[in-house]
Each structure stands twice: as structure tokens, then as C-alpha cells.
Amino acid sequence: MTGKPRRVVVTSPRTAAARRPRHPLTREIDEQTRLGEVYMRSLVRTQFRLALFVCTLLACLVGGLPLLFLLVPDLRSAQLLGLPLPWVVLAGLIYPAFIAGAWLYVWQAERNERDFADLVERQ
Amino acid sequence: MSIAAIVVVALATILIGAFGIRMSRTTSDFYVASRTVSPLWNASAIGGEYLSAASFLGIAGLLITYGADMLWLPVGWTGGYLVLLVLVSAPLRRSGAYTLPDFAEARLESMAVRRVSSVLVVLIGWFYLMPQIQSAGLVFRTITGAPEWAGGLVVAAVVAANVLSGGMRSITFVQAFQYWLKLTALAVPLVFMLLAWRSDGFPGLPPGDPWALPLHGREHPLYETYSLILATFLGTMGLPHVLVRFYTNPDGRAARRTTLVVLTLLGAFYLMPAIYGYLGRVYGLPATDTVVLSLPGRLIGGMGGDLLTALITAGAFAAFLSTSSGLTVSVAGVIAQDILRGGVRSFRVATILAVVVPFALAGTARSLPVATVVGLAFAVAASSFCPLLVLGIWWRRLTTVGAMSGLLLGGGLACAAVLATITGGPDTGWMGALLSQPAAWTVPVSFTVMVVVSLLTQSRVPPGVARTMVRLHTPETLNLDRGDWRPRSL
């Protein structure tokens, strides 16, 4: 035991070396640096996932209906409010469903873009 | 009275066209003006151009012929905009492309792909125009008793005069008005007919009428239903006259909002043809494309019936003229620029070509229901431009060779099937089903070929793809380098 270690006064923190000069992220994207590419790919991937999600829902609905009519023949002649069920769905209810899906998509896609813009412009 | 309606619509179209020359002297005036157009006006204009004779007359006719499976046609023609919205609308607007060949050139940096796209645009345009002209002939004959070519000639002549004078198409307002005219022309008679139906005591179909049931009435109903779904949902994004309208949105965000409004407007319109078809069946009308025209006379009759028939006739001719004008401008623009030398003289020659060829086809091809042939044009678009747009926007590894092979093989096979069907190919058996509803096999072929060939030719990825992705996907508010490509159409 040789007593307390000597106290050292730090006079010049090497902050300049620790932090590399920062470019705004827009410049990283413009110069197609690795970092810029990572941000671009993440934007495209987020938007693509959203698009794929909506398309999958749509495919299940639209692709599923003929299959449902094939596998459950009773549905073909079922009645809803005195009208044939396939007509109620295909000539009526499916349109508001499309519009609702589109509205949700627009809302989420715009949010993704706002998030991306905030991220890129924050620095 | 219906003849008067036709004359009024044709005259109004010509007059507005002539007036439009003064309003929009150059194309750039049009763009500057259109940038201030709100999504509702823009969407009405898209709807006005999109709702053709196939929607206005054809759906009800096909419904009576084949029954409930045909309900998928209007569903697909609306749902196509949902697919377009999520997969292409904003990036397409941001690409700055004015036509589909422009997009091909911008994304793939290849003139060869551009030329192949141009040929496909012209073919799709002709396949789409031909049934419009045939249908005009049919309506004209029903009303006046004139031979079929006469009505087609009227439409072809008015459209050519209009496009040559440079009016009509350039004014968003006119196309927007066409949507509301078509909506009114179906909705007002429908209200009166529903009242007549009520006073008749709501006659319905005999219980268990197989006509009202899905998967019925054709030889291979399941295959044909799925093929129709694929063609309509994926074909909408590849129609040449629809894409142009997206350019008039100020930015990608507005393009999305416009598409949302389009979906709403089309949904409202497409509620009606199904009711026309249902009433037509209940009242036992013959299965032709003119069923929409003959319903008011059957249900209401007298002076009121004549007036309503005249209103529907006006709407039908508005449908012929607006869709045909939009298609003719798109086709003529592509012929003038990519096939002829460009400039005003080329555009005039191209306009004549764009109208005369489908007019000649309409006379020689056999007479199929209008919605069937328009469905075939959708199948070609779905097997060529849909993969090009979807892969081009979302997949960096698409190569020039891959895109080219997919366009040639998918588009080529679909075109061959269409030609076989309209010239009188087999109508029955599996061969008939495969040729008359080709999308179920040509769309997968096209996608597969594009992906596989691209993976095999990774050395041919366009060099500017990273910059193009920035251009396609980043919101315009960000100050980024998006490259300096500009469409040559401007």
C-alpha cells in the first residue's frame, strides 16, 4: 500500500479527437456514404413493410372470398337483409373497406416520412 | 331526344376543346396551372378519365350474361387504386416521370427499355380504345338505327379533332366535370327506377336463381375469377392515361391523398352498375351492353323514360369521349416522341394513327362485350408495367436486362393471348379460359423472369440506382440531391 493515488487535474479533454466532425445527415445521403445508405435503406424498408402489410390484408380478403364461396357453398346462397350475401359484400361492403384501408395507409405512410425527416434534420 | 343528347355532348366537347386552346397555350402553362389543383379536383379528373364505356355500360351487360362473378370487375377496377396507392403512387410522382416510358428511362437508365415500354403503351392504348369505339357504334345503332361504324366514326372524329386542337385533355376541370356528369347520368335515373321498382312491389329473383350465385355460369369459374382479380388489381397501375394525371399533383404526399379520393369517388360510382344489372335481370332484359340504356324505358316508360334514357346516353357518350381522348393523347404522345421524330407535326400524324388503328380494329375484330376487351387491356398492363413499376420502385437489384426480358415475355404473351381472343380464338375448354383470362399465368411469368434474369445479370444494375432511390422515396421537404434527370416530354 503506497497511499492514495495522486490526483491528476485534467486540463485538456481530447474532445476534438473523440468526436469526428459531423455532417448533417442530408449530406451523408447526398454523398452516398455508408451511413447515408443505412438511413435510406431503413426508410425504403419501413415503407415497403407497410405496403406489404396492406397488400397482404387485401390479398387475404380478395383472394379468400372466392375460396370461401368454393369451400362453403351455403355462403353462396345465404341472405343478408333479404339480399344475396355475395352481392351485399361484393357490390357494397367491400368499397368502404377499401377506403378505410387506404385511409389508414396514407396516415401511417405520412407518419413514417415525418419520422424520417425528423431523424435526418435533427442534427 | 337521345340523338339530341349525343349532339349536345359532342358539341360541348368540341367547344370546350376549342376554348381550351386559349386557356392553355403551352404544356408548361398547363403544368403551372395544374400545380394549384386540389386533390378533390385532381381525383375527379382521374375518375372522369378512368370511367369508360366498360364501367358505364359494360359491367351491367356482363352481369346479366354471367351473373355474380362479374361483380369482381368493378371491385377490381376500384381496388386497383388501393394497390396503386400503397405500391406506386408517391414514388411515381416523385420520380418526375410524365409517362411510363419516362419512368422506365429514369429508373433503368436505358433507352432500349424505354422503347419497349413505348410499344407496350401503344398496344395497351389500342386494346383499350378499340372496345370504346365498338361500344359507341353499338349505342349509336340502338338509338338511331345507323350502321355500327357510324357511331364509332363520330367518336373517333370528335376525339381526333379535340386532341389535334389541343384542348380537352389539357384542362383538369373538364375531365373533373366528366366524372360528375357520369355519376349524375347513372344516379338520377337509378333513383327513379328504384321508385318504380318499389311501386311494383319489389319484385325479386325467383328463389334459388343460380344467376345470383358466385362461381357459376362459366366453364372454369374459379380460375377465371382469380385471373380477373389479378388483372384488374394489378393492371390499374399500368394504364398509360392514368399515370399522366399523377404528374399534376404538386408532390408525393398530394399524390397519395389524390389516390385516396379517387378510391372514394370510384367506390361511389361502382355501387350503381351492380344495381342496374340486378334490375335488368329481375325485369328480364336481354344480355347486351345496352341494357343500361333500355332499363328506364322498361321500368318507367313514356316521356319520363325517354328523358332518363337521353340522360344516360349523354353520360355514355361522355364516357366514350373522355376516356378515348385521354388514351389518344397518351398514345399519340408516345408515338410522336419515341417512334416518330417528335415535334408538333409528328404529334399530328401520331394522333391520326392513334385513332385510325383502333377504329380499323373495331371494324375487323369480332364484337365482344366492351368490359371483356377492356379487361384484356388490363391483363397486358398487369403482365408488363406492374412488375416494372413494383420492382423498379422497391428492388434495387433490378437490372436493365431483367426488366427488358420481363416486359418482352410477360407483355408479349399477354398481347398474344389478347390478339387470339379478339380475332376469334377458342372460346371453350381450358385453352379458351387461358387465352381469354391470361393474367393468372402471364403476371407470374413476367415477375419471375424479371427477378431471375436480374439476379443472373447483377453487373447490369443501373449505376445511378442509389440516387434514384433517394428521388423516389424521400419526402420533398428534405433538401437532398435527387439527380438531374428530367422527362423529355417537357
Give mean pLDDT, residues B137-155.
89
CB atoms within 10 A of CB A72: 10
pLDDT score, position B5: 86
Least confident of A50-64, B3-17, B272-286, B428-442: B3-17
Q: Count how many residues are written for chain B.
A: 490
Least confident of B173-182, B269-278, B293-302: B173-182
Tell me the C-alpha distance between B395 and B416, whole Å: 28
Q: Please answer yes or no on whether A40 and B470 come within 8 Å at the CB atom.
A: yes
Quick check: B263 pLDDT over 50? yes
Give residue-wise pLDDT tens across range B192-245.
999 999 999 888 888 778 888 888 877 888 999 999 999 999 999 999 888 877
A69 interaction partners in chain B (CB closer than 8 Å): 214-215
Write out residues 443-472 of B within 8 Å (CB-CB) of A. Answer: 466-467, 469-470
- Quick one: closest CA in B to A50, which residue? B86
pLDDT score, position B98: 82
- Which H helix or E strand runs over A19? none
Q: Please answer yes or no on whether A113 and B271 come within 8 Å at the CB atom.
A: no
Assigned domain for B421 exists: no
Pick B27 or B294 by higher pLDDT.
Answer: B294
B467 interaction partners in chain A (CB closer than 8 Å): 32
Assigned domain for B445 exists: no
Assigned domain for A99 exists: yes
- Quick one: closest CA in A to B263, which residue? A99
Assigned domain for A117 exists: yes
Domain ranges, residue B23:
2-367
Give residue-wise pLDDT tens across range B368-418.
888 888 999 999 999 999 999 999 999 999 999 999 999 999 999 999 999
Instruction: Determine if residue B486 is left, alpha or beta; phi over 0 gives left, psi from -120 to 50 gives alpha, anything else beta.
Output: beta
Q: Please answer yes or no on whether B85 and A70 come within 8 Å at the CB atom.
A: no
Pick out chain A residues at pLDDT < 50: none
Q: How far is B10 from chain A (nearest CA, A)?
A: 32
Q: How far is B490 from chain A (nearest CA, A)?
A: 26
Angle at B207 between CA B204 and CA B210, to 5 degrees: 100
A43 interaction partners in chain B (CB closer than 8 Å): 473-474
Give residue-wise pLDDT tens across range B313-359.
999 988 888 899 889 988 988 898 888 877 778 888 999 999 999 99
Q: How far is B351 from chain A (nearest CA, A)?
A: 36
pLDDT score, position A16: 54
pLDDT band for position B489 (cuts 50, 70, 90): low
Assigned domain for B406 exists: no
Say how many domains are in chain A.
1
Q: Please answer yes or no on whether A96 and B473 come within 8 Å at the CB atom.
A: no
- Quick one: closest CA in A to B216, which residue? A76
Q: Please answer yes or no on whether A32 and B473 come within 8 Å at the CB atom.
A: no
Give mean pLDDT, residues B298-318.
91
Q: From the candidates B73, B213, B271, B477, which should be mutated to test the interface with A, based on the most A CB atoms within 10 A?
A: B213
Assigned domain for B245 exists: yes
pLDDT score, position A5: 80
Q: Please answer yes or no on whether A90 and B72 come within 8 Å at the CB atom.
A: yes
Q: How far is A22 from chain B (nearest CA, A)?
A: 17
A54 interaction partners in chain B (CB closer than 8 Å): 82, 86
pLDDT score, position B20: 60
Say how many domains are in chain B.
1
Q: Please answer yes or no on whether B474 and A43 come within 8 Å at the CB atom.
A: yes
A120 interaction partners in chain B (CB closer than 8 Å): 478
Tell me the C-alpha distance between B467 and B489, whole Å: 22
Q: Please answer yes or no on whether A63 and B479 come within 8 Å at the CB atom.
A: no
Tell me the C-alpha distance between B24 and B469, whole Å: 34
Give residue-wise pLDDT tens across range B25-71.
555 444 444 456 788 888 998 999 899 988 999 999 999 988 899 99
Q: What percent of chain B has pLDDT over 70?
A: 94
Q: From the candidates A38, A45, A52, A113, which should be mutated to test the interface with B, based on the most B CB atoms within 10 A?
A: A113
Assigned domain for A56 exists: yes
pLDDT score, position B32: 41
Assigned domain for B123 exists: yes
pLDDT band for position B125 (cuts 50, 70, 90): very high
A63 interaction partners in chain B (CB closer than 8 Å): 226, 229
Pick B32 or B246 by higher pLDDT.
Answer: B246
Q: How far is A18 from chain B (nearest CA, A)?
A: 28
Q: Using an 8 Å Cβ cutoff, are B274 and A95 in contact?
A: no
**Statement: the pTM of the whole predicted model exceeds 0.95:** no
Assigned domain for B298 exists: yes
Pick B191 or B178 by higher pLDDT.
Answer: B191
Q: Helix axis angle, B2-23 relative to B111-144, nearest 10°?
A: 150
pLDDT score, position A52: 96
What average pLDDT is seen over chain B? 88
Q: Please answer yes or no on whether B475 and A91 come within 8 Å at the CB atom.
A: no
Assigned domain for A16 exists: no
**Closest by Cβ to A102, choosing from B85, B226, B474:** B85
pLDDT score, position B31: 45
Contacts of B424 (CB under 8 A, 6+ apart): B366
Assigned domain for B10 exists: yes
Quick check: B120 pLDDT over 50? yes
Q: Please answer yes or no on whether B253 and A110 come within 8 Å at the CB atom.
A: yes
pLDDT score, position B246: 81
pLDDT score, position B453: 97
Closest CA to B243 of B344, B124, B343, B421: B124
Closest CA to B261 of B82, B40, B483: B40
pLDDT score, position B170: 54
Q: Helix axis angle, B100-108 relative to B111-144, nearest 10°?
A: 170
Closest CA to B129 of B356, B336, B289: B356
Is the Cβ of B279 closer than 8 Å to some Cβ of chain A? Answer: no
In DSSP terms, which residues pair with A79 in a beta bridge? Answer: A84
Tell me, what DSSP letter sits at residue A80? Answer: E
Assigned domain for B374 exists: no
Q: Using an 8 Å Cβ cutoff, are B107 and B391 in contact?
A: no
Domain ranges, residue A41:
24-121
Write out residues 192-231 of B within 8 Å (CB-CB) of A. Answer: 208, 212-216, 222, 225-226, 229
pLDDT score, position B30: 45
Q: Read off the CATH number of the domain in which B102 is found.
A: 1.10.4160.10
A92 interaction partners in chain B (CB closer than 8 Å): 271
Count of pairs with CB atoms under 8 A, one residue in A, one in B: 131
